Amino acid sequence: MNPQLFHALTLCALLFAPSLRAQEDTLFYLPDMEAELFDTDKLDFGRRGTFDKSGLVAALARIASDFDPEEKNGKVPNLLRSNALGIAGRINPEAKSFKTTYEQLEQDAEAYGSSGTSKDRLLGNIYRGIRTLLKDKGNEDNKICAAYCVDVAIRFLPGHKYS
């Protein structure tokens, strides 16, 4: 290969790759709710886990609904929003928080109601749900679901004391 051509192609890749990556996050895509990440019928939050399950789903739906960029909380990347929504919907597709957020995002890629929500509080709800999922040491589906939730939490607020 011609060295000058190789250098020109390398330079083009270095110059345009960041703009392509930035453009990738400008569009919001609804999650593929048909993809099977874990068996939702086998998820077990335990006898007293209903509260933690509701809090987890609501927190994930809040992340998916984004934050007001004008507020101090800033913006959530679209890929993370989609991932959070997909996990929330798999945990409890009948949850009002999931349904409302999904419907709003389906209509115009914007969801409302997250303004003023503390990221710290959302993360606390996610980690409470994760701890509840991990109580059943033998449930592989709980572990897989918890891993996805940890991934969302770490990307949502890297360097947080819970992370």
Quote the CA–CA distance of 44 and 136 in Å, as a whole number.
8
Quote the tokens at residue 124: 């606390």
Question: Does residue 16 belong to any structural domain of this protein?
Answer: no
Question: Does residue 89 belong to any structural domain of this protein?
Answer: yes
Question: Does residue 84 belong to any structural domain of this protein?
Answer: yes
* pTM metric for this prediction: 0.77
Quote the tokens at residue 70: 């004008």
Quote the tokens at residue 27: 């569009």
Question: Does residue 14 belong to any structural domain of this protein?
Answer: no
Contact 25, 77 (CB under 8 A): yes
For 160, residues 6+ apart whose C-beta sits below 8 A from its C-beta are 120, 123, 153
Contact 146, 90 (CB under 8 A): no
Question: Does residue 5 belong to any structural domain of this protein?
Answer: no
User: Identity (one letter) of the amino acid at 21?
Assistant: R
pLDDT in tens, 57-91: 999 999 888 765 555 556 788 899 899 999 999 99
Least confident of 39-48, 124-133, 136-145: 39-48
- Is the dihedral angle over the CA atoms 21, 62, 33, 153 positive or is it negative? positive
What residue numbers bound the domain in which 50 lies? 28-156
Counting the structural domains of the chain, the total is: 1
